[in-house]
Amino acid sequence: MKHKLKLIEADLTDKQSLKNLFKLAGDVDIVYHTASLYSYKAKIEVLRKINVEGTKNLISVLPENITQYIHWSTCGIFGKPKKKGKYANIPFTEESDSPKNMPENATSPRNTHIVNEYSVSKWEQEQFLWKKYRDKKLPLTIVRPAPIYGPGSTYGHGGIILSINRGVLPAIPARAKHSITCSVHVDDIARFVMHISGKNEYIGEDFNIVDSSVISYHEFLHYIALLTGKNLKDIPFLPMTVMRLFTLSLAKILINLNLSKYFDKLNMVEPQSAKYIGSSYWISNRKTLKTGFKYKYDDVKEGLKDTIKWFRDNNWI
- Tens place of pLDDT for every residue, the chain, 317 residues? 556 788 999 999 999 999 999 999 989 999 999 999 988 888 999 999 999 999 999 999 999 999 999 999 999 999 987 666 666 678 999 999 999 999 999 999 998 889 889 999 999 999 999 999 999 889 999 999 999 999 998 887 888 898 899 888 888 888 888 889 999 999 999 999 999 999 999 999 999 999 999 999 999 999 999 999 999 999 997 776 766 666 666 555 555 555 455 455 555 556 566 556 667 789 999 999 999 999 999 999 999 999 999 999 999 98
85 Ramachandran zone, left/alpha/beta (phi>0; psi -120 to 50): left
**317 Cβ partners below 8 Å, 6+ apart?**
161, 162, 165, 166, 228, 308, 311
**Residues 93, 64: Cα–Cα separation, whole Å:** 32
Please check whether residue 164 is in contact with residue 221, taking contact to mean a CB–CB distance below 8 angstroms: yes
Cβ burial of 47 (10 Å; 0-12, 13-18, 19+) is: buried
In the chain, domain spans: 23-308
**Residues 166, 211: Cα–Cα separation, whole Å:** 27
CATH architecture of 23-308: 3-Layer(aba) Sandwich (3.40)
**Residues 265, 19: Cα–Cα separation, whole Å:** 34
Q: What is the pTM of this model?
A: 0.90
**154 Cβ partners below 8 Å, 6+ apart?**
162, 265, 266, 267
